[in-house]
Amino acid sequence: MSDKPTPAPYTEADLDLIKKIIPHRYPFLLVDKVRDIVPNQSAVGIKMVTANEPHFEGHFPAKPIMPGVLIIEALAQTSAVLVGISMDIIGKDLLTYFMGIDKAKFRRMVVPGDCLELHVEAKRGGGKIWKFEGKAMVDGELAAQAEFTAMMDLKG
């Protein structure tokens, strides 16, 4: 029996830890932190939406709106962090590939100045294929939702 205590699972991931789990970087890293992590179950990502993001130059110059596909991508990145922590694969080059996106709906515009909360729940997982339900919220209001399936793969 070891005298070393078992480390508590992560319940939060700052930007440094996120970068050790997923390969995304500027301008495609869309999660600033992840909190309320319950391994194999759920997590909440946080994305601070700022006017400096490159997609706002063209979407749209007179009325900047975060593209819906990027909101779904931010939900997926939050899910990948949940998987990385759940499977203890921090620092092991996790790649995540979409396999399907279902029931995507967009309910509210997301604009610079918003704090986007990315609520994800694992519906099936534990191996390479995971299924999630995600809801993106701003100030308690539903902005977008989707179900998505992803394949988790370790590089090389």
Catalytic residues: 59
Contacts of residue 98, defined as CB under 8 A and 6 or more positions apart, other chains included, come to 76, 148, 149, 150
Q: Give the rounded distance of the alpha carbon of 17 from its chain centre.
A: 13
| Phi and psi, residue 118, nearest 5° | -110, 95
From the list 39, 63, 41, 42, the residue with the least C-alpha distance to 51 is 63
| H or E, element range at 133 | strand 129-138
Name the H helices within 2-156: 15-21, 68-86
Structure tokens at 132: 């999630």
Are 46 and 120 spatial neighbours (Cβ–Cβ below 8 Å)? no
